[in-house]
Structure 1
Amino acid sequence: MTTLTRAFNPTFAGHNLGSVTQPRVLQKTSKIGFLLLEHFSLACFTQALDVLVTANLIAPGAARVHTFSHTTAEVMSDLGIPIRPDTPLTDIRLADLDLLVICGGLRTVRSPPPWLTTLLRQAARRRIALGGLWNGAWYLACAGLLDDYRCALHADQRTALAERVPGVRVCRESQVADRDRITSASPAGAFDMMIHWLGERAGAPLAAAVLATLDTDQSRYRSVQGPASRQPQVCKTLREVIGLMEANLEEPLSPEHIAQMIGLSIRQIQRMFKLQLNTTPQRYYFQLRITEARRLIQNSHAPIFEVALACGFVSCTHFSRSYSAFFGHPPSREPRHET
């Protein structure tokens, strides 16, 4: 019997990596360089780097990352931990980049050295996208490369930059993407900035998969399809409903029971799911259970029938057919990461 193929709601697509296939998503390798300035924010740098490293684990070759310094010597981070760049900063290396990110920090010297201004202008002439972490936008602006651009900058320097370079549109957001300039003002902003870049360059499904892997709590209520300000807000009540579902996988709650526990009608809950997640409660609950089943198979030695029972499937046949419909293969063929 042929199994009918089923698709995950966008909320779950990234969690399962089912929509992340290299021929469709990974069009080409994205090449990113991080230029480390003395006393750069290590937290910002690692948040951005984690996104790219995880992307390569999910889709090998998604990103090629280089770290640079002015002299190829170690650069001291703001936490007193030195980082040794992996690549000399040469014209050849620079020309090969798609994105050059300037990594600044709270104690990074404000006066841009001449070599840095020259380097940034050279990169701009070569149509390389430019980014900044913490106060990286400061150096881009002082080089004349943010005129009429929106940018994100750490709060300590927003007013000063607006006065020093009036043509720059300094924003209060933690991260801003404006054409070929992407900037962030905090570690969380650095994370979001690279998720945005990954979505633009490698596709929203891969970015969603990285988000689901690294930021599970938030990814249940977020999408990488567009700016966060345009995404629907998931209300507190709906979060409570989802929490109940997540806490009751082995013995799924009935719609009537959920409604009674939340203090709303079934119809009200259905409307919330439709308006805020564009799905039904039943479909969401089912996808939640099949998602958790896949995670359990991947990360344990549990027999398939035990996984099925643990995720609320009383029939192994139904479980296997549903699994195949969503993931394209039966649960018995799912790779196990637990050794």
Structure 2
Amino acid sequence: MSDQVPVRRVQLLLLSGYALHELALVRAALIGANRLAGREIFQISLATLDVAPVKDEAGLSLTVPQLQPQLASDLVFVLTGALRPARRVIELLNRDAMLVGIGWGVFWLAQAGLMNGYKVSVHWQQAEHYLEQFPQTAISSNLFELDRNRFSCGGGMAALDLTLAIIARLAGNELAGAVSESLMNERMRSGEERQRIPLQNQLGSGVQPKLVKAVSLMESNLEEPLTTDEIADRVCVSRRQLERLFKQHLNSVPSQYYLDLRLQRARQLLLQTSKSIIQIGLSCGFSSGPHFSSSYRNHFGTTPREDRLRHQPGRRSTSVGDET
């Protein structure tokens, strides 16, 4: 079967701050496909738009050639560590090529207008930021997306899952499965799987389904929090039983665990979106700005405004809501 698979020219486009482990996962899968196919079905080369050498997220330098317009590719993986100007990308990348965004690489392609009209997968922690920056694209919470000739994932281990899925599409499921086994990958995850690890998988098989349902209710009701009694009623246990489950498995009480979920969500919105602080507080179930600020300070040791300014030093307060 591999004799019938056409050769694909693959460029791994490295931009400043790319994650070395994601590059390693992508290369390992593609090289493994070549080895198991018995021939070079993927002609792999590295390139950058930066002045060489390009540095990864830890500052490790790698000298690679600059991407040239005449070096047309069938498949281009974009790996980068932050949202940055997608300069000169239009004339360098073929819109008809298969373009793959890994992590922040999805943002980079979207900034260049190359993801308009496509469904994309971004890291769940970056979803709000992506929607604010690129409302014209459709976002997915799936592990990865294969939409026509645009492929995307949120990074991390999903880079391997996405690359295996690409190998399966271009060279067959049998080869992709063999590559996965050769890398001692536990299993090939499908794109439809959830990004976030379910609570039951985090805590093991011994966790009570009632606890899983209770946490799911909390995660689904952040803007208008339920009371502990309401949660207990919905999962069909007594309040005391619910408190015992949280103490046994999560070493917390339901009300504190719920508050922690809301504050973590608030911090995610605070650092990734331009929403006012009061808007964020209200959307996470806090009745007022002072209530939100006090709870935030008690949990994180700093106010929402101070935290935002520390992580976004160029930002200035623009509304009353940003004064808390």
* Short-chain TM bin: 0.5 to 0.7
Q: State the one-letter code of the partner of 2:45.
A: H
Note the C-alpha offset of 1:118.
4.6
Secondary structure (helix, strand or coil) at the match of 2:77 reads: strand
**Deviation sequence 1:273-330 (CA, Å, 0-9, x none):** xxxxxxxxxxxxxxxxxxxxxxxxxxxxxxxxxxxxxxxxxxxxxxxxxxxxxxxxxx
Alignment pair present for 1:146 and 2:115: yes
Give the one of 40, 45, 49 matched to 1:66: 45
Contact 1:45 1:133 in 2 (8 A): no
Aligned to 2:77: 101
Q: CA deviation at 1:203?
A: 1.4
Q: What is the match of residue 78 of structure 1?
A: 57
Tell me, in whole angstroms, the C-alpha distance in 2 between the residues paired with 1:32 and 1:196: 15
Amino acid at match of 1:190: A
Distance, in Å, in 1 between the alignment partners of 2:51 and 2:6 is: 28
Partner of 1:209: 178
Distance 1:207 1:113 in 2: 32
1:217 counterpart SS class: coil
Could you tell me how far apart the structure 2 residues matched to 1:173 and 1:159 are? 15
Q: Distance in 2 between matches of 1:185 and 1:164?
A: 16
Tell me, in whole angstroms, the C-alpha distance in 2 between the residues paired with 1:159 and 1:228. 20
Query: What residue is the counterpart of 2:210 in the other structure?
Result: none
| Residue in 2 that maps onto 1:116 | 89
* Alignment: residue pair count: 195
Residues 144 and 191, structure 2, Cα contact 8 Å, conserved in 1: no
Question: Is this contact kept in 1: 2:120–2:139, CA < 8 A?
Answer: yes
1:40 deviation in Å? 0.6
Match of 2:212 in 1: none
Q: Is the 8 A contact 2:23 2:79 kept in 1?
A: yes
Q: How does 1:308-323 map to 2 (within 5 A)?
A: none
Structure 1: tracts of 5 or more residues without a match: 1-20, 231-235, 237-339
8 Å CA contact retained: 1:129, 1:180: yes
- The answer for the alignment partner of 2:154 in structure 1 is 185
Q: SS of 1:92's equivalent? A: coil
**Correspondence for 1:239:** none
Higher relative contact order (CA 8 A, sep 6+): 1
Q: Root-mean-square deviation (CA), in Å? A: 2.5
Q: 1:47 aligns with which of 22, 25, 32?
A: 25
Paired position in structure 2 for 1:326: none
Task: State the distance in 2 between where 1:216 and 1:76 align.
Answer: 28
CA distance in 2, matches of 1:185, 1:92: 30
| Superposition TM-score, scaled by structure 1 size | 0.53
Residue 102 of structure 1 aligns to a residue whose secondary structure is: strand
Tell me how far 1:116 sits from its aligned partner: 3.2
CA contact (8 A) 2:17 2:56 kept: yes
Gaps of 5+ in 2: 195-200, 202-324
Q: Can you list the C-alpha shifts for 1:49-72, whole angstroms capped at 9, x where unaligned?
A: 110011111112121111101256
Q: Are 2:13 and 2:48, in contact at CA under 8 Å, matched by a contact in 1?
A: yes
1:21-47 deviations in whole A, cap 9, x for unaligned? 533xx4211211111110111111111
Aligned-partner Cα distance in 1 for 2:33–2:53: 26
Q: CA contact under 8 A between 1:31 and 1:99: conserved in structure 2?
A: yes
Structure 1 CA distance for aligned equivalents of residues 143 and 185 of structure 2: 20
User: Cα gap change, 1:186/1:88 in structure 2, threshold over 3 Å: closer, same or farther?
Assistant: closer
Give how far 1:217 is off: 2.5
Cα separation, 2, equivalents of 1:33 and 1:134 = 17
Is 1:37 aligned to residue 6 of structure 2?
A: no
Q: Partner of 1:166 in structure 2? A: 135
Separation (CA, whole Å) in 2 of partners of 1:227 and 1:162: 20
Give the match's secondary structure for 2:157: helix
Q: What amino acid sits opposite 1:193 in the alignment?
A: L
Counterpart of 2:58, as a letter, is L
The change in CA–CA distance for 1:162 and 1:117 in structure 2 (over 3 A counts) is farther
| CA distance in structure 2 between the aligned counterparts of 1:186 and 1:89, rounded to whole angstroms | 22
TM-score of the two chains, using structure 2 as the length reference: 0.55
